[in-house]
Structure 1
Amino acid sequence: MVLRVNIDQIEPVTRDWICKVQIVEIGRPRESLDKKCTFQNLILEDEDECQIKAVMYADEIEQYAATLKLFHTYLISTAKVKVPPASYGKPIHKFYWILDKETVIEQIKPSHEVEKPLPPPTKLNITTFDRIPYLMVDSAAEIDILAIVLRCGPQKNAGRSHHRCREITLCDNQKTQFLFTLWEDFGEIEGHEIASKMAPEANLLVILGRSIGISTYQGLSLQTR
């Protein structure tokens, strides 16, 4: 018998489960630090607004590309449930899922006779800028931010490391400013998109950053992971 459960009820030892979730974030496919594999992160949210990270690797990224869409709802079962390694920083949940060839994914369409798609997500765990200095005790902390872009610099090499980056100056609604460094492909892709919107925009440009790291680069600052 298949057990219908929510995210918090699923552990590595749980068997024969099925969970109704909505995709609330889809990352870009990226290379691992050791360049040995390509992976893609997703954030899933259930009916109780509990969230968990799901990971796909090279073959599955292509396999599910046409199926998994942002803000669509799915019934997922037989995903592998793992404990995140310490290098993951501060995860959003004590476990994460791996979506592979054995995972069963069924999309719930609006026309479905029994199941209905989940409503648009409302959960945002925004960290205000005045709290950031108190989070430095945990250098692995990852936060979500909502801020105004004051300045977007050009793509450049950072010091002797030759790592490519783009520096952005952010401001919150209390006029507190922070430097936000977009490293490597984040600077190339998202940074370029932000820069292209800065010049023609008459209104303020507001961005939502998810899983942002805290750094001591050029003093206390923010950075992409």
Structure 2
Amino acid sequence: MYIPKFDLEDEEECQIKAVMYTGEIEQYADKLKLLHTYLISTAKVKVSPTSYGKPIHKLYWILDKETVIEQIKPSHAVEKPLPLPTKLNITTFDRIPHLMVDSTAEIDILAIVLRCGPQKIAGRSHHRCREITLCDNQKNQFLFTLWEDFGEIEGHQIASQMATAADLLVVLGRSIGISTYHGLSLQTRYNSTVRVNPNYPQAVTLMNWY
């Protein structure tokens, strides 16, 4: 059985391996050409196996009889910009004390950064972290701990921008944990994401309020 493999590249320059099996080779043989752009729908996406070493591609697509492939004609016309994202499921700071603060609680937050502390080593475990102080539009404040890489990457970005920018920063945190250690506070987890000055109208509204 012959399995052809080829690389796909999205507009963020992320390469993904695509795979076709015997029955689909003839179906798509004339449709896929080098350096052309396609809209591919209903392809199956799987994580590349790591049993035999580190793969070049993290993901691969399987093109089968259900896959729809449409070629996008090249155009130099100016396209209309996509609308700004608006959907956010934010937990307000006044609700945090009333939430279940067990080990599984996770929330999304949007707040202004008031202060950003230096990188430091915390506790007996010697984990790296950086503490920042957040404020919402009701003047509620929370300490937010950025652990490990969050402190080095996003924390460094926040500290650098606060040192040079005239305006304060807005932070969007997703899958943020709630901690009761030495009082109620917030902290990053392994699956958290932190974005600085996110492109949401809610962030602009928060900054205008401040």
Q: Does 1:100 align with 2:59?
A: yes
Residue matched to 2:98: 134
Residue matched to 1:77: 43
| Cα drift, residue 169 of structure 1 | 0.6
Distance in structure 2 (CA, Å) of the matches to 1:193 and 1:185: 12
Mapping for residues 136-151 of structure 1, pairs under 5 Å: 136-151=100-115
Report 1 or 2 for greater relative contact order, CA contacts < 8 Å, sequence distance ≥ 6.
2
Distance of aligned partners of 1:75 and 1:195 in 2 relative to their CA distance in 1, 3 Å threshold: farther
Quick check: 1:142–1:214 contact (8 Å CA) kept in 2?
A: yes
Q: Percent identity?
A: 72
| Structure 1, unaligned runs of 5 or more | 1-62, 82-98
Quick check: 1:76–1:103 contact (8 Å CA) kept in 2?
A: no
Is 101-110 or 160-169 further displaced after alignment? Answer: 101-110
Q: Could you say what secondary structure the match of 1:212 adopts?
A: strand
Residue matched to 1:194: 158
Aligned residue pairs: how many?
140
Distance of aligned partners of 1:150 and 1:76 in 2 relative to their CA distance in 1, 3 Å threshold: farther
Q: TM-score, normalised by structure 2?
A: 0.55
Quick check: 1:75–1:108 contact (8 Å CA) kept in 2?
A: no
Distance of aligned partners of 1:119 and 1:203 in 2 relative to their CA distance in 1, 3 Å threshold: closer
Letter in 2 for 1:78: K
Distance of aligned partners of 1:182 and 1:171 in 2 relative to their CA distance in 1, 3 Å threshold: same
Distance in structure 1 (CA, Å) of the matches to 2:123 and 2:113: 24
| Structure 2, unaligned runs of 5 or more | 1-8, 16-38, 48-57, 76-80, 190-210
Residue matched to 1:179: 143
Q: TM-score, normalised by structure 1?
A: 0.52
Letter in 1 for 2:127: H
| Cα drift, residue 208 of structure 1 | 1.1
